[in-house]
Amino acid sequence: MLEYDRNVKSRSGPILVVGVITDSNTLGAKQALVEGFELIKNSPIQGLPIKIVPVHLPDTGALEQTLEAAGVSVLFAGGRCRDSTLNAVLAFARKKKIPACTDREEWVAKGFVLGVVEERTRARIVINLAEMKPQGMDLSAQLLQLARLLK
């Protein structure tokens, strides 16, 4: 879906850095999440190489410093993260105009800009239109036509 974001190059610099957020609630799923993202790291997006950065946050105190040090240009936080982690990730995404993505539709409704969620037996793209600009995304009409849009 980042292939359809017209701002990805200006936001990312020479490398697209995907921060994969885990906390104490998702520690058991951390390896599976990172492995899933590792599958795409050899598929450039808009010509940009992809770097996957696992970011484990045992608490939200160091979130901003940790994410800035990692140089993330897009965030993914699984819906099993604690609410406090998801809220902190969302606040950081808005402050820095970095897209926050998830796998839970309810978190897209709460402010994450984009989600890939399981719907019956297939994946569904869900986009929060009100969060596109605050999180620095400019998605093409082509992607918007394929997705379920939340207003």
Q: What CATH number is associated with residue 127?
A: 3.40.50.2300
More confident residue, 17 or 24: 17
62 is in which domain, residue-wise? 2-150
pLDDT at 31: 65
pLDDT at 25: 75
pLDDT at 28: 62
Amino acid sitting at position 79: G
Using the predicted structure, report yes or no on whether residue 148 has a pLDDT greater than 70. yes
Average pLDDT over residues 13-32: 79
Using the predicted structure, report yes or no on whether residue 61 has a pLDDT greater than 70. yes
Using the predicted structure, report yes or no on whether residue 34 has a pLDDT greater than 80. no
CA angle 113-124-138, nearest 5°? 35
Closest CA to 148 of 108, 111, 121: 108
Look at the chain and report how many structural domains it folds into: 1
- For residue 16, what are its two tokens? 């697209």
Average pLDDT over residues 44-72: 87
Calpha distance 32→36 (Å, rounded): 6
Average pLDDT over residues 104-114: 94
Q: What is the pTM of this model?
A: 0.88
Measuring CA to CA, how many Å separate 115 from each of 47, 65, 77, 110, 128?
A: 23, 25, 10, 11, 9
Residue 125 bridge partners (DSSP): 116
pLDDT at 32: 67
